[in-house]
Amino acid sequence: MDNQVEMPNRTFSDIQGYANRHGKKGQKMVSRILSSLGKNEQFLNAVNSTLGKELLTDLVNMMEESLDKIIDESATEVERANFRVGRDLSLRWVEKINNYYNNLKQLKEG
């Protein structure tokens, strides 16, 4: 299995178009996506680590598929739910992976 994580090729215009078509609900989702992107450095540190690649690759790929369908408005309720669960899990896992590596670094230095 290739551990290379590829990010979706969606533009801000794609995401904004979804938001415009779905009013407040769409704006809320876009806000959450942009908030997640704001944590990009932590995510990249985690996903590029050995542990992160093992834990996050499948989750990111599942989220990418779901996000593409959500933006194209072809997603089922299950796919929308999968995206929400994936987003929440990825944020928790990224924090735990980064904490693990920070603690490991402190142990090695201390």
- Give me the residue spans of the domains in the chain: 40-109
CA torsion 67→69→70→73, rounded to 10°?
Answer: 160
pLDDT at residue 77 in the model: 94
Contacts of residue 7, Cβ cutoff 8 Å, sequence gap at least 6: 60, 64
Percent of the chain at pLDDT above 70?
Answer: 75
pLDDT tens figures, 33-84: 666 655 567 877 887 888 888 888 888 888 888 888 888 889 999 999 988 8
**Side chain identity at residue 84, one-letter code:** R
Please answer whether residues 17 and 69 qualify as being in contact, where contact means their C-beta atoms are separated by less than 8 angstroms: no
Name which of 24, 9, 28, 3 is nearest 72 in CA terms: 9
Q: 25 is written with which tokens?
A: 């609900």
Prediction pTM value: 0.60
